[in-house]
Each structure stands twice: as structure tokens, then as C-alpha cells.
């Protein structure tokens, strides 16, 4: 998970101060020393760390913290607020032009994920904001870039404007804008050329495209895994082009966090989106406060709820509740439920959003084994309808057949049946408990 080292160290430091009834300057100093090391180790820019420590220290030794009844918690609150501020404070919005189309220029070095992100952003604009974007292939230098954007367009069933690689990017942008107006596209996403390094020719060309298309947003796509390099790249692009936002990709990897925590301070450009995977729906709006909360182990329940709302079928939840109450929950329902949870994203990420999840013993080191879940699904799929409804009829020969059909072992089949049995017992107990409670209330 991204930020794991940083999160671990900060949380350990916070744990030491949390319960303290009294906090003095020496305590704050000691804590700040640890926070400083944690940030530097996470590859946060040196100057950013220095300023951060100064701000937190000043506030932490201030009257309102020292005199409060819960000074330890107040200090943590200050750290969280400043961490949020470091990443940009408020969540930034995406521009909407009052003279459509809104033009977004996507820039970045090769390999950062620019073309993929262009597709992801178009997908998000359509899905979440009901917009009708046009993708524009203006990266005429990387041989596969145009083809790649066209493939993305096909996957999304979205139009891609391209004039091949013999026409200049400025001309492509010009004709694309005319086309977008004619076809009533309200967003135009221009995938510009990337290079391996920043050079004058590239910047000159990007400036020309900017001049012509008068973009409402210029988003720089940078790879979070490259740490301080990403910050330097952002700084140069911003100086030359004037960025309106940064998209930080590959936050699904085990990046240390340096880029996310430094970019805003160094370049004064907000991170607007984060990339969390290769798939086209793996792009999320960046929420500084939620990220700070996640880093400090306070969870990110808001994102979890949003994911649940977007992926879980409310009707099905109702149906499920009914089934639990009447104890008619079958293995098919279990499979269904598993599918819905998996839709929400990798389980490891979901666990990371629960407050304090990484402090629960065992859970932290538990690699969520997606393969094992795949096995569970395969086993249930290999059962007949009757078996799914009445697992008690599954005898030794049926178990052998199921194991063979699902490519697993009899032990795994046994384990699943036992787990399902335990789950049903637990549900029964729970429904009995709530029934008891209801009766009690009714008698009052």
C-alpha cells in the first residue's frame, strides 16, 4: 500500500502522545524529531519538511493545545490539519467553461501514465458528471500513442479525434476544437506529446498548443513512484506552462509518499486526481483531508461509503437482509455478496480505509489473498443448485467432484462449507438477539 512506511511511523509517534494528560515543550520537541525523520524517510522535500515542522511545533506549544483537557489529542489534530494543508487543504474542483467546450490539456513525460489518464478522466467526466468528452490524439511522436488512445476510445465507446502523425499538434488541436463544437462535445481532452526528458522543443510545442487552444485546465500527469523527480518535473512544467493541476499516478504501488506531500508546497499547484491502477475506472478525485486521515490511521470512511454506494445494489442489500432474517441465505447469496465487495476494489485497499485497521494485530500482516477468494468463487460455482441451497447434502463423493471441477482440493471445499456453516450460525444468533431486543422495547 502507498505511504505504508510513513503511516506506520507517524502512527507509532502519535500513539505515544495520544493519551497524555499533560504535554510539555520537550514532549513536542521529541515528537517533532520523529515526525521529521518519518517525513524525510518518505522522501518529502527537505524544505517542505522544515516548514511543516515549524508550523506544527508553533501551534502545538500554543496555549490552546497545552491548556486543553486532552493535549495529546489536540497535538494530533494539529498534525492532521497541517498535513491536510500540505496536500492542498480543500479538494479542488475541475473547471467548467461557460463557453463550452471546456478544454483540458494533458501534459507529462513519457511513461507517467498520461495517455491512460486521459482515457480515465474522460470516463470519469462521463460517468460522474454526465459529460460528453472528445479525446484528441496530439502525441504524434511516440509511435504507439495515437493507437493507444484510439484503443482506449474504443473500450470506452468514446470518439477519438486524430489526424495521424504527419500533421502538427497545433493543427490537430485547432481542427479538434472545431469538430468538438460542431458535434456538441462539452469537454475536449488533448493528449499532448511526452518525451523522456523536458526539452525546449517539447515546451515550445506545448506552449503553441496552449496558445491556440486556450485551455481551461492544464493537467500534468506524474508518476508518484518517482518521488522527488516528480516534484522537479512538476516545478519545471509549471514554470513554463502554468499548470492548473497535477494528476498523481501509480498510487496503488508502494510509493513512499514524497511526491504527494511535496508537490503542492513546491509548485503551488493542487493535486486534483490520483491514479490507483491500470484500469479505466482507477482514477479518483484527490481529497487532502481524507488522505491525511488515512496516513494517520484514522481511516477514510467517507471514501468507503462512496464506493459502497456506487457499487452495491441497494435492492440486493434489502433482499439479503430479508434472507438473513428468515435464515434462507444460501451459498449463491454468499457468492453474490463476495462479487459486490470485490467490485469496490482490491480488499487490501478497502481494509486500509477502516480506522485503525492497520493497528489490529494480524490484520496488518495479513496479505489479502485475492487468489484464495477466487478459489472460493470457483468452488461455489462448481456446485449444483441443490448443493448451494442445502450444503448439508454434500458428501465425500460430491466434495471430490466439486474440488475437481473448481481446480481446488477437498480440504478447501471442507473449509468453505465449515465457514459457511459458522456464518449461518452467527446470523441466527444475531437475528435472535435483535428479536429479543425488539420484544424488550415493546414491553416498555
Binding positions for GTP: 108-115, 191-195, 249-252
The residue written with cell numbers 491556440 in the block is 212
Which of the ranges 109-117, 287-295, 362-370, 431-439 carries the binding residues for ligand GDP, by CB under 6 A? Answer: 109-117
Which of residues 276 and 353 has its CB atom nearest to ligand GDP in the complex? 276
62 is a site residue for ligand GDP (CB under 6 A): no
Q: What is the length of the chain?
A: 444
Instruction: Please tell me whether residue 112 binds ligand GDP under the rule CB under 6 A.
Output: yes
Q: Which of 71, 108, 257, 270 binds ligand GDP (CB under 6 A)?
A: 108
Q: Does 233 bind ligand GDP (CB under 6 A)?
A: no
CB of 133 closer than 8 Å to CB of 103: no
Sheet of 160-161: strand order equals: 160-161, 133-137, 187-191, 102-107, 217-223, 245-249, 271-275, 283-285
Residue 283 or 413: the one with the smaller Cβ distance to ligand GDP is: 283
Stretch that binds ligand GDP, among 10-18, 36-44, 114-122, 320-328 (CB under 6 A): 114-122
* Distance between CA atoms of residues 193 and 202, nearest Å: 8
Interface residue with ligand GDP, options 72, 227, 277, 297 (CB under 6 A): 277
Is residue 105 within 8 Å of 192, Cβ to Cβ? yes
Among 281, 59, 334, 295, smallest CA distance to 155 is for: 281
CA distance 376 to 368: 13
Cα gap 82→89, rounded to integer Å? 9
Q: Which is nearer to ligand GDP, 13 or 226 (CB)?
A: 226
Instruction: Please choose, out of 85-93, 181-189, 269-277, 390-398, the segment that lies near ligand GDP by the rule CB under 6 A.
Output: 269-277
Q: Based on CB atoms, which residue is closest to ligand GDP, 252 or 289?
A: 252
The residue within the footprint of ligand GDP, chosen from 249, 262, 293, 330 (CB under 6 A), is 249
Burial class (CB in 10 A: 0-12, 13-18, 19+), 125: buried
282-311: contacts with ligand GDP (CB under 6 A)? 282
* CB of 84 or CB of 249, closer to ligand GDP: 249
Residue nearest to ligand GDP (CB): 275
User: Rule CB under 6 A: is residue 110 a binding residue for ligand GDP?
Assistant: yes
Candidates 11, 13, 116, 269; binder of ligand GDP (CB under 6 A) is: 116
Chain positions 154 to 213 lying near ligand GDP, rule: CB under 6 A, are 194
Stretch that binds ligand GDP, among 125-133, 162-170, 227-235, 272-280 (CB under 6 A): 272-280
What is the gyration radius of the CA atoms in the chain, in angstroms?
Answer: 26
Q: Does 114 bind ligand GDP (CB under 6 A)?
A: yes
> Quick one: which segment of 113-121, 128-136, 171-179, 345-353 binds ligand GDP (CB under 6 A)?
113-121
Taken in order 109, 110, 112, 116, the sign of the CA dihedral is: positive
Those residues whose C-beta lies under 8 Å from the C-beta of residue 20, and which sit 6 or more positions away, are: 27, 71, 72
For residue 135, the minimal CB distance to ligand GDP (Å) is 13
Q: Which residues make up the interface to ligand GDP (CB under 6 A)? A: 108, 110-116, 194, 249-250, 252-253, 275-278, 282
Amino acid at each position: 500500500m502507498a505511504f505504508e512506511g510513513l503511516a506506520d511511523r507517524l502512527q507509532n509517534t502519535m500513539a505515544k502522545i495520544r493519551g497524555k494528560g499533560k504535554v510539555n515543550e520537550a514532549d513536542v520537541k521529541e515528537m517533532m524529531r520523529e515526525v521529521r525523520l518519518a517525513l524525510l524517510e518518505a522522501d518529502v522535500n527537505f524544505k517542505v519538511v522544515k516548514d511543516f515542522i515549524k508550523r506544527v511545533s508553533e501551534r502545538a506549544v500554543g496555549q490552546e493545545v497545552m491548556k486543553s483537557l486532552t493535549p495529546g489529542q489536540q497535538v494530533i489534530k494539529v498534525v492532521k490539519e497541517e498535513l491536510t494543508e500540505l496536500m492542498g487543504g480543500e479538494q479542488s474542483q475541475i473547471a467548467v467553461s461557460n463557453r463550452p467546450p471546456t478544454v483540458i490539456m494533458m501534459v507529462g513525460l513519457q511513461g507517467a501514465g498520461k495517455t491512460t489518464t486521459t482515457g480515465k478522466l474522460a470516463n470519469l467526466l462521463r460517468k460522474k458528471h454526465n459529460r460528453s468528452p472528445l479525446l484528441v490524439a496530439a502525441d504524434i511522436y511516440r509511435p504507439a500513442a495515437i493507437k493507444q488512445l484510439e484503443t482506449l476510445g474504443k473500450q470506452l465507446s468514446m470518439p477519438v479525434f486524430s489526424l495521424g502523425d504527419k500533421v502538427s499538434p497545433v493543427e490537430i488541436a485547432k481542427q479538434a476544437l472545431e469538430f468538438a463544437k460542431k458535434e456538441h462535445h462539452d469537454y475536449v481532452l488533448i493528449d499532448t506529446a511526452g518525451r523522456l526528458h523536458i526539452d525546449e522543443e517539447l515546451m515550445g510545442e506545448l506552449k503553441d498548443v496552449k496558445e491556440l487552444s486556450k485551455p481551461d485546465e492544464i493537467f500534468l500527469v506524474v508518476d508518484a513512484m518517482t518521488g522527488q523527480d516528480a516534484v522537479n518535473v512538476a516545478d519545471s512544467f509549471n514554470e513554463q506552462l502554468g499548470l492548473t493541476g497535477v494528476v498523481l499516478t501509480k498510487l496503488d504501488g508502494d510509493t513512499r509518499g514524497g511526491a504527494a506531500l511535496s508537490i503542492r508546497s513546491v509548485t503551488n499547484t493542487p493535486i486534483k486526481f490520483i491514479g490507483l491502477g491500470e484500469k479505466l475506472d482507477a482514477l479518483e478525485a484527490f481529497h487532502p483531508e481524507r488522505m491525511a486521515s488515512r496516513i494517520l490511521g484514522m481511516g477514510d470512511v467517507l471514501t468507503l461509503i462512496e464506493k459502497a454506494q456506487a457499487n452495491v445494489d441497494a435492492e440486493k442489500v434489502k433482499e439479503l437482509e430479508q434472507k438473513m432474517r428468515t435464515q434462507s441465505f444460501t451459498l449463491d447469496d454468499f457468492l453474490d455478496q463476495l462479487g459486490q465487495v470485490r467490485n469496490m476494489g482490491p480488499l487490501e485497499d478497502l481494509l486500509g480505509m477502516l480506522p485503525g485497521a492497520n493497528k489490529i494485530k494480524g490484520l496488518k500482516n495479513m496479505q489479502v489473498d485475492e487468489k484464495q477468494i477466487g478459489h472460493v468463487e470457483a468452488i461455489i460455482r462448481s456446485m449444483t443448485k441443490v448443493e448451494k441451497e442445502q450444503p448439508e447434502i454434500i458428501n465425500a463423493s460430491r466434495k471430490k467432484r466439486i474440488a475437481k471441477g473448481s481446480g481446488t482440493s477437498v480440504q478447501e471445499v471442507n473449509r468453505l462449507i465449515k465457514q459457511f456453516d459458522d456464518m449461518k450460525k452467527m446470523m441466527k444468533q444475531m437475528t435472535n438477539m435483535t428479536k429479543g431486543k425488539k420484544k424488550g422495547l415493546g414491553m416498555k
